[in-house]
């Protein structure tokens, strides 16, 4: 697979170009500098080429993130066969543009200048000084209006050999790391991949967009998604949009790592547990910074976890420390195990045999002398496992009894740690013409 990096100073439209080229809104875009900090990857297909496109943060920004952003951009350049240098000619070349130019010359990569915000041919008069940078003819584009993108890609293709790589047959497991700010999601990502892919700082809100990282463990491919920390009340519009992007990343994931700080649990963990619960995805609670909990406080911390995360009490826990890499392999091993269970299918004959056992083990609800009768059970979906139970009266099903059945399904059918959904379908003389559905 080929690799192309997009670079430039802040607020010239790099993320807008990235989104336009990959064909979807993956990167957060706003009319202020410094929104992108990490190097964000996306896959695009063009003329028999599979290209990993990398959006980088604004270089020579002059703020506290300048060095970290440049380090991530330098990582992005490793193995890149071409670089798209985005400029805004209408503003004229700045000192930062010349700094980026010198930096690119030292790296020795093929560079294509993308003169952005050229919304019409009359704006191209601003492009004259770009020739003086020494990277050849600039390409006039408008990321916002999709102008000039074919010309830009034609120039990029000049530097890429024909793509003969086979597409891997094993589909990756996509995992989102969610949690409130500063619980260590980015540190865990770096510890797993043994890189500094994500910027880590003590300041909350460092990660401002979801960051996808491909990783291989035990022959299984993963896409690990570091998301922006989810606050109760976002401080800025950019942060609010970043949180929306995090929630969208959860929807596209196969599994969730809910990262909590072992020594700093609050009511916000309940909200995150609900978010994970509602997703219907397998959840692993990652209790980070476990090494910092004093031995005398271990039992109290466990009790606090049980209370605040009771909505997802079925979810397994892994106790970790990103600093000393404790529990890192367990995170991946548990994810592989849960993903396999999430896609499992149980034979109908086995389900109905167990349905009879469960009815003998626990008395069914009884309303005014009328009992709930369950006639038949079958699995109707996987990922998550969803079961339909045919009964006489769906309104007789109590929350407690449904919880009992869900627990039995997990325990007796080897689905421990998996969210289970039940659908109740009425049949027989008491059928009321509609179904009742409850999820877990």
173-342: which CATH architecture? 3-Layer(aba) Sandwich (3.40)
Consult the annotation and say whether 251 binds a ligand.
no
Consult the annotation and say whether 289 binds a ligand.
yes
pTM (2 decimals)?
A: 0.67
Per-residue confidence band for 28, with pLDDT thresholds at 50, 70 and 90: very low
Consult the annotation and say whether 198 binds a ligand.
no
Q: Is 173-342 in the same CATH topology as 2-157?
A: yes
Consult the annotation and say whether 205 binds a ligand.
no
> Which of the listed ranges 38-52, 176-190, 224-238 does the model predict with the highest average pLDDT?
176-190
Q: For the segment 128-140, what is each residue's pLDDT rounded down to a tens digit?
A: 999 999 999 999 9
Name the residue with higher pLDDT: 391 or 272: 391
Consult the annotation and say whether 327 binds a ligand.
no
- Looking at residue 209, its pLDDT comes to 53
Consult the annotation and say whether 336 binds a ligand.
no
Consult the annotation and say whether 299 binds a ligand.
no
> Which of the listed ranges 7-16, 36-45, 269-278 does the model predict with the highest average pLDDT?
7-16
Superfamily per CATH, domain 348-438: K homology (KH) domain (3.30.300.20)
Domain edges within the chain: 2-157, 173-342, 348-438
CATH class of 2-157: alpha beta
Consult the annotation and say whether 161 binds a ligand.
no
Consult the annotation and say whether 10 binds a ligand.
yes
Look at 14-18, 115-119, 350-354, 379-383 and tell me which has the smallest mean pLDDT: 14-18
Rounded (10°) angle between helices 298-308 and 268-279: 50
């Amino acid at each position: 697979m080929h690799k192309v990096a997009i670079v430039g100073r802040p607020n010239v439209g790099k993320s807008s170009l990235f989104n336009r080229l990959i064909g979807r809104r993956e990167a957060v875009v706003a009319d202020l500098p410094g929104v992108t900090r990490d190097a964000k990857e996306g896959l695009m297909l063009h003329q028999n080429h599979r290209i990993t496109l990398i959006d980088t943060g604004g270089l020579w920004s002059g703020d506290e993130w300048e060095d970290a952003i440049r380090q991530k951009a330098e990582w992005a350049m490793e193995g890149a066969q071409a670089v798209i240098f985005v400029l805004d000619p209408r503003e004229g070349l700045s000192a930062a543009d010349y700094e980026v130019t010198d930096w690119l010359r030292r790296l020795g990569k093929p560079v294509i200048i993308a003169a952005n915000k050229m919304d019409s041919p009359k704006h191209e008069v601003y492009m004259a000084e770009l020739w003086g940078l020494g990277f050849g003819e600039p390409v006039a584009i408008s990321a916002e209006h999709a102008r000039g993108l074919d010309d830009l890609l034609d120039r990029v293709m000049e530097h890429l050999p024909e793509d003969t790589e086979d597409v891997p047959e094993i589909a990756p497991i996509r995992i989102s790391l969610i949690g409130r700010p500063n619980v260590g999601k980015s540190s865990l990502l770096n510890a797993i991949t043994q890189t500094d892919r994500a910027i880590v700082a003590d300041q909350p809100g460092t990660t401002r967009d979801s960051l996808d990282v491909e990783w291989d463990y035990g022959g299984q491919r993963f896409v690990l998604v570091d998301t922006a920390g989810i606050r109760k009340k976002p401080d800025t519009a950019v942060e609010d949009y970043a949180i929306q992007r995090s929630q969208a990343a959860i929807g596209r994931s196969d599994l969730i790592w809910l990262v909590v700080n072992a020594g700093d649990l609050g009511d916000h963990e309940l909200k995150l547990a609900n978010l994970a619960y509602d997703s219907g995805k397998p959840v692993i609670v990652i209790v980070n910074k476990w090494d910092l909990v004093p031995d005398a406080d271990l039992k109290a911390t466990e009790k606090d976890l049980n209370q605040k995360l009771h909505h997802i009490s079925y979810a397994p826990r892994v106790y970790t420390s990103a600093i000393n890499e404790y529990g890192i392999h367990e995170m991946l091993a548990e994810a592989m195990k849960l993903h396999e269970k999430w896609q499992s299918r149980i034979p109908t004959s086995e389900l109905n045999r167990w349905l009879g056992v469960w009815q003998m083990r626990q008395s069914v609800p009884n309303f005014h002398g009328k009992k709930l009768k369950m006639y038949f059970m079958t699995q109707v979906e996987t990922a998550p496992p969803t079961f339909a139970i045919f009964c006489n009266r769906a309104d007789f099903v109590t929350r407690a009894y449904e919880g009992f059945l869900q627990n039995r399904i997990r325990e007796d059918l080897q689905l421990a740690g998996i969210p289970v959904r039940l659908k109740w379908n009425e049949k027989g003389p008491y059928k009321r013409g509609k179904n009742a559905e409850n999820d877990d």
